[in-house]
C-alpha cells in the first residue's frame, strides 16, 4: 500500500478537538455567568432584608411626650435571623449623636428621605453588609435626623454562594461531558460513511470494476461520482488494451499460418540437413507464437465472456465427455490414454458452456503436453461440498508442478513453471481456467501427487 | 501531679479573685481519682439540677474534674464578657444574654455529630446550643382557689382574681423583671406574643403584686400558702417538689412559653476540647426528662404540645436587650405593675 501523506491530521481528531474546546469554553462561560447571576441574586436578597430591617426600625421611631422614642420592633432582627445564622449589628443616631446599639458602627451620614444605602465593610473582624437609612423628625420645632444602621455578617451568604458555585461548577462539568459525548458520537456517525466507502473499495477484487453503489451523504456524492468516473475510465482503458491485444493476436495469427505453410513446403524441398534442422526450429517457433496468439485471443474471449456471463444451463455430465472427446486425437498423437470417470448424475450448473469447455480444454491440453508418452490421464467428474460444487479432476503422470508454492503463482498471467523447457506454452492456460472457475463461483486448485504426477482440480458451482 | 495542678489552679484562682466582683452563689468541684484536667462550668442552674449529669460525665471521662459555679444570669454574661476569670462552658437560662454573647463574638464554634443532630431552632451559628425545653407555668395554690374553680387560661385567671380582689390582693407573685433575666425574657416574649400580657400586668399591679428574684422562693411561698398565684415560674422547678400536692401547675392553654436552656463555649476557654465533649453530652440528652432525673425518654419533641410556644434562638432576642427598648419596656412594666 502506498503511504498517504497526512497533511492535516485526522478529520475526526480535528473535529473532536474543536468540539471539545468549544464545549470547554461554553461550559466555562455558563459557569461564570450563572455564578455571578446567583451571587448578585443572593446579595440582592440580603440587601432587601437589611433594607426592610432598617425601614422597620425607622417606622417604629416616633416623637412621644416630647421625647424621641426609638422602639426597635422584634421583627427587625428576627427577619434577619430567618435567612441565615449571621451576626447582626446595629446603631441608631439622632443628629449624629449615638443613641443605641453598637457605638463603633459609624459611617458617613446619609440624607433623610432617601432610599436605604448599602455598603460592604468590616466590623468586629468580620465582613458585614450594611444598610443605612435616615428619616427626619420634628422635636419642639427643631428638626432631628434619625439614622438607622443595620449590619449583618456575610458568612451565610458566603456559604450559600459556595454551595451555588459548587452546584454551578457541577452543572458546567456535566454540560461539558454531555457536549463532548455528543460531539464524539456525532463525529463517529458522520465519518462512518467515509470508512464504509473506503472499506468497500479496498475489499474489492482486482478485476472488480463495477461503479461504487450504496447510499452516501450528500457531501460525499462528488467523491463517489469522481471515483466512479475514474473506474469507468480505467475500465475503458483496460478493455481498449485488451481489445488491442486480441486484435494484434488475430492479425498475427493469419500471417503466421501462411509463414508456417511456406516453411513446411520449403522443408519438403530442401535436403541439406543443417537447413532442415533450422527450418524445423523455425516451424516450432512459429507454432509457439501461433499458440500464444491463440491463447491470447482465448483469454480475451474468456475475460469478455466472464464479465458478461451468460446465465444458461450447463450440464457438466455432458459437457466434460464432449470436451475429452475433442482432445482425444491430440492425445492419440502421443499415445496417451484418457480415462474418464463420472460419479453422480444431475451435474447441472448455470453459466457459459463455452467458457467451461475452454477451461477444461486448457487443463487437459496442459496435461497432454506435460505427460510422458504412452501414459494415462485420469479425468474424474464428481460432486463436492454437499452437491454445491462440481469437481473436474485431471491427473497426469508428468513431472508435476515444480513446487506447491509455485503452483499458486501458475494461474497468474504469463507465468510458466520452471520445468517447462522444450514444451510450447504461453503461460495463459491456467489463468484462463482459473478465471473461468472464479466466474462460475468456483476455483482452480493445483497439487502434486505423491510419487509423481500433477493434479488439477476445477470447481464450478452447481444449482 | 494532680495535686500540683490543683494547687496551681487554686493559686491562680486566689490571684484573680480580687480583680473582679463576680457574685458567686455556689461553687462545687466534681473530681474523680484520676482527674488531671479541670473543666470550669459557669451556670445559672442550681448545682443539684446538674449534679447527676456532671457525675455521669466524669464517670465516662475519668481524667476530667468539673468545677461548677452558680451565678445569676447577668453575672454569667459579665464573667464571659470581661474574661477575668476564664470558664470553659457557660450554661444559662437567659437565652437573650447567651444570644448576645454569641452575636458579639464571645463564643467558640463547636461542631460534632451530636450538635449536628440538633434541630435548627435549638442551635445558632454552631456556637449556641439548646439542651432543655422548660415551659413557663403558673403555679396555683389549691387552697386559695377552693370554690373558685381552677383557671385554664390567662383570661380565666384574670376573671377569677378580679372577681375576688380580697382573696387575691397581695397574694400574686411574679419575677421582678428589672433584676431577673429569666423574668425579663418571659415578660418580653409574652408581651410580643399577646396583648393580654399588659392587661394581666395591670390587674396584678392593682392587686399589689409581690415581686421575686427567683422561682424557688415563689414556689416556696405558694406551697406555704403565702401566695395564691405564682406567675411565670419554671414548671420543672415546681414539679419535683415534695410539697407539690399543695399547688397545681398550670400550663396556660392560650399559650405557654417554652424557654430553652442554652450552652456556649466562651471564646477564651482554656479547655475547649473537653468543653466540646461536655456540650455534646448535654445536647445528646435532647431534653430527655428533667435534668436531674434518670428518665432517658426522649421528650424533646413530644413535650411541645399545641399552644406551647418555643422561644427561638436567634438575633430576634437581641431586640429587647437594646438599651432604649429595654428602658421603654421596663418603664411601661413598672408603671403597670409597681404602683407608686
Instruction: State the cell numbers at A429.
Output: 492456460
- The B residues from 311 to 330 touching A (CB cutoff 8 Å) are 312, 314-316, 318-320, 322-325, 328
Give the pLDDT of residue A3.
62
In this structure, the number of other CB atoms found within 10 A of the CB of residue A314 comes to 24
Q: How confident is the model at residue A54 (pLDDT cuts 50, 70, 90)?
A: very high
Give the pLDDT of residue B69.
94
Are A74 and B192 in contact (CB < 8 Å)?
yes
Are B124 and A85 in contact (CB < 8 Å)?
yes
Paired with A285 in beta bridges are: none
Instruction: State the cell numbers at A307.
Output: 464479465
pLDDT in tens, B162-208: 898 888 999 999 999 988 888 999 999 999 888 899 999 999 999 99
Report the candidate in A294, A278, A376, A390 with the shortest Cα–Cα distance to residue A345: A390
The CA R_g of chain A, rounded to the nearest whole Å, is 51
CB nearest to A81's CB, from B316, B320, B322: B316
Least confident of A52-61, A317-326, B236-245: B236-245
pLDDT in tens, A370-408: 888 888 888 988 888 788 888 888 888 877 776 655 555
Query: Which residue of chain B has the CA closest to A84?
Result: B125
Q: Going along chain B, which residue ranges are E strands?
A: 26-30, 37-43, 64-70, 89-92, 123-124, 128-130, 134-141, 172-175, 210-212, 229-234, 247-250, 256-259, 262-264, 308-310
CA distance A238 to A246: 12
Least confident of A4-13, A330-339, B133-142: A4-13
Query: Which residue of chain B has the CA closest to A75?
Result: B316
Half-sphere exposure of A388 (CA within 13 A, CB side): 5
Query: Which residue of chain A has the CA closest to B320?
Result: A74
- Per-residue pLDDT, averaged over A271-294, amounts to 86
pLDDT in tens, B259-312: 888 999 999 999 999 999 999 998 886 544 445 444 444 444 445 667 788 888
Which sign does the torsion angle of CA A230, A235, A237, A238 carry? positive
Instruction: State the cell numbers at A44.
Output: 440582592
Residues of A in contact with B314 (CB under 8 A): 77-78, 81-82, 85
Give the pLDDT of residue B238.
82
CB nearest to B322's CB, from A80, A82, A100: A100
**Residue environment code for A149-174, b if the CB has 16+ CB neighbours within 10 A, otherwise e:** bbbbbbebbeebbeebeeebeeebee
Instruction: State the cell numbers at A284.
Output: 516450432
Give percent above pLDDT 90 in chain B: 47
Q: Average per-residue pLDDT in chain A?
A: 84
Q: How confident is the model at residue B158 (pLDDT cuts 50, 70, 90)?
A: very high
B103 touching A (Cβ < 8 Å): yes
Which sign does the torsion angle of CA A245, A251, A254, A255 carry? negative
Nearest CA to CA, how far is B315 from chain A (Å)?
Answer: 6
Model pTM score: 0.65
Estimate the crossing angle of helix A429-439 against helix A353-370, to 10 degrees.
Answer: 150
pLDDT in tens, B75-106: 899 999 988 889 999 999 889 999 999 999 99
Query: Which residue of chain B has the CA closest to A64?
Result: B328
pLDDT in tens, A170-227: 988 998 899 888 888 988 888 888 888 888 888 877 667 788 877 778 888 888 889 8
Are B325 and A88 in contact (CB < 8 Å)?
no
Nearest CA to CA, how far is A132 from chain B (Å)?
Answer: 18
Judge whether residue A246 has pLDDT over 70. Answer: yes
More confident residue, A148 or A417: A148
Nearest CA to CA, how far is A65 from chain B (Å)?
Answer: 13
CA distance B209 to B220: 16
CB nearest to B105's CB, from A75, A76, A124: A124
Residue A32's H or E segment, with its range, is: helix A11-59
Give the pLDDT of residue B286.
56
Amino acid at each position: 500500500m502506498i503511504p498517504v501523506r497526512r497533511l492535516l491530521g485526522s478529520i475526526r481528531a480535528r473535529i473532536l478537538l474543536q468540539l471539545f474546546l468549544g464545549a470547554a469554553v461554553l461550559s466555562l462561560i455558563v459557569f461564570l455567568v450563572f455564578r455571578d447571576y446567583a451571587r448578585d441574586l443572593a446579595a440582592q436578597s440580603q440587601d432587601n432584608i437589611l433594607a426592610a430591617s432598617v425601614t422597620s426600625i425607622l417606622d417604629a421611631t416616633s416623637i412621644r411626650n416630647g421625647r424621641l422614642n426609638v422602639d426597635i420592633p422584634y421583627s427587625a432582627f428576627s427577619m434577619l435571623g430567618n435567612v441565615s445564622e449571621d451576626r447582626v449589628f446595629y446603631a441608631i443616631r439622632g443628629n449624629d449623636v449615638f443613641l443605641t446599639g453598637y457605638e463603633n458602627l459609624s459611617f458617613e451620614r446619609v440624607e433623610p428621605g432617601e432610599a436605604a444605602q448599602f455598603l460592604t465593610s468590616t466590623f468586629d473582624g468580620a465582613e458585614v453588609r450594611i444598610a443605612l437609612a435616615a428619616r427626619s423628625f420634628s422635636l419642639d420645632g427643631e428638626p432631628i435626623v434619625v439614622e438607622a444602621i443595620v449590619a449583618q455578617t456575610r458568612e451565610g451568604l458566603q456559604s450559600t454562594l459556595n454551595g451555588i458555585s459548587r452546584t454551578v461548577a457541577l452543572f458546567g462539568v456535566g454540560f461539558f461531558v454531555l457536549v463532548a459525548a455528543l460531539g464524539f458520537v456525532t463525529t463517529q456517525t458522520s465519518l462512518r460513511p467515509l470508512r464504509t466507502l473506503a472499506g468497500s473499495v479496498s475489499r474489492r477484487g482486482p478485476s472488480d470494476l463495477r461503479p461504487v453503489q450504496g447510499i452516501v451523504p450528500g457531501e460525499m456524492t462528488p467523491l463517489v461520482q469522481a471515483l466512479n468516473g475514474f473506474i469507468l475510465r480505467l475500465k475503458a482503458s483496460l478493455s481498449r488494451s485488451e481489445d488491442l491485444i486480441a486484435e494484434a493476436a488475430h492479425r498475427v495469427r493469419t500471417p503466421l499460418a501462411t509463414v508456417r505453410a511456406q516453411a513446411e513446403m520449403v522443408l519438403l524441398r530442401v535436403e541439406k540437413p543443417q537447413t532442415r534442422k533450422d527450418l524445423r526450429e523455425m516451424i516450432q517457433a512459429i507454432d509457439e507464437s501461433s499458440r500464444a496468439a491463440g491463447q491470447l485471443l482465448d483469454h480475451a474471449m474468456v475475460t469478455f465472456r466472464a464479465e458478461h456471463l451468460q446465465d444458461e444451463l450447463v450440464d457438466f455430465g455432458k459437457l466434460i465427455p464432449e470436451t475429452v472427446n475433442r482432445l482425444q486425437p491430440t492425445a492419440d498423437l502421443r499415445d496417451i490414454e484418457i480415462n474418464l470417470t463420472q460419479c453422480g448424475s444431475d451435474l447441472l450448473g448455470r453459466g457459459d458452456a463455452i467458457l467451461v469447455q475452454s477451461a477444461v480444454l486448457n487443463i487437459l491440453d496442459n496435461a497432454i503436453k506435460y505427460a510422458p508418452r504412452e501414459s494415462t490421464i485420469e479425468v474424474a467428474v464428481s460432486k463436492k461440498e454437499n452437491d454445491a460444487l462440481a469437481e473436474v479432476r485431471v491427473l497426469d503422470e508428468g513431472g508435476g508442478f515444480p513446487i506447491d508454492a509455485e503452483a499458486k503463482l501458475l494461474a497468474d498471467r504469463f507465468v510458466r513453471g520452471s520445468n517447462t523447457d522444450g514444451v510450447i506454452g504461453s503461460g495463459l492456460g491456467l489463468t484462463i481456467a482459473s478465471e473461468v472457475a472464479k466466474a462460475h463461483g468456483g476455483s482452480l486448485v493445483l497439487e502434486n501427487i505423491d510419487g509423481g504426477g500433477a493434479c488439477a482440480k476445477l470447481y464450478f458451482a452447481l444449482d | 501531679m494532680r495535686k500540683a495542678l490543683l494547687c496551681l489552679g487554686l493559686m491562680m484562682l486566689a490571684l484573680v479573685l480580687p480583680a473582679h466582683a463576680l457574685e458567686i452563689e455556689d461553687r462545687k468541684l466534681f473530681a474523680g481519682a484520676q482527674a488531671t484536667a479541670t473543666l470550669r462550668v459557669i451556670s445559672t442552674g442550681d448545682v443539684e439540677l446538674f449534679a447527676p449529669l456532671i457525675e455521669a460525665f466524669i464517670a465516662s471521662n475519668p481524667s476530667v474534674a468539673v468545677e461548677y459555679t452558680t451565678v445569676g444570669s447577668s453575672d454569667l454574661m459579665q464573667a464571659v464578657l470581661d474574661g477575668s476569670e476564664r470558664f470553659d462552658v457557660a450554661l444559662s437560662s437567659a437565652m437573650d444574654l447567651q444570644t448576645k454573647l454569641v452575636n458579639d463574638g464571645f463564643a467558640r464554634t463547636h461542631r460534632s455529630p451530636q450538635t449536628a443532630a440538633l434541630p435548627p431552632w435549638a442551635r445558632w451559628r454552631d456556637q449556641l446550643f439548646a439542651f432543655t425545653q422548660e415551659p413557663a407555668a403558673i403555679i396555683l395554690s389549691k387552697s386559695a382557689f377552693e370554690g373558685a374553680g381552677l383557671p385554664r387560661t390567662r383570661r380565666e385567671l384574670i376573671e377569677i382574681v378580679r372577681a375576688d380582689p380580697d382573696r387575691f390582693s397581695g397574694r400574686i407573685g411574679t419575677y421582678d423583671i428589672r433584676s431577673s433575666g429569666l423574668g425579663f425574657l418571659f415578660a418580653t416574649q409574652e408581651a410580643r406574643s399577646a396583648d393580654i400580657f399588659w392587661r394581666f400586668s395591670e390587674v396584678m399591679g392593682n392587686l399589689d403584686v409581690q415581686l421575686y428574684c427567683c422561682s424557688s422562693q415563689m414556689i416556696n411561698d405558694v406551697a406555704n400558702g403565702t401566695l395564691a398565684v405564682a406567675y411565670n415560674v419554671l414548671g420543672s422547678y415546681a414539679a419535683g417538689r415534695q410539697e407539690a400536692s399543695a399547688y397545681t401547675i398550670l400550663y396556660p392553654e392560650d399559650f405557654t412559653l417554652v424557654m430553652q436552656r442554652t450552652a456556649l463555649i466562651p471564646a477564651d476557654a482554656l479547655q475547649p476540647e473537653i468543653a466540646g465533649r461536655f456540650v455534646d453530652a448535654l445536647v445528646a440528652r435532647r431534653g430527655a426528662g428533667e435534668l436531674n432525673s434518670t428518665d432517658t425518654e426522649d421528650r424533646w419533641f413530644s413535650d411541645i404540645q399545641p399552644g406551647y410556644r418555643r422561644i427561638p434562638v436567634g438575633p430576634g432576642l437581641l431586640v429587647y436587650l437594646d438599651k432604649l427598648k429595654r428602658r421603654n419596656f421596663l418603664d411601661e412594666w413598672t408603671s403597670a405593675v409597681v404602683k407608686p
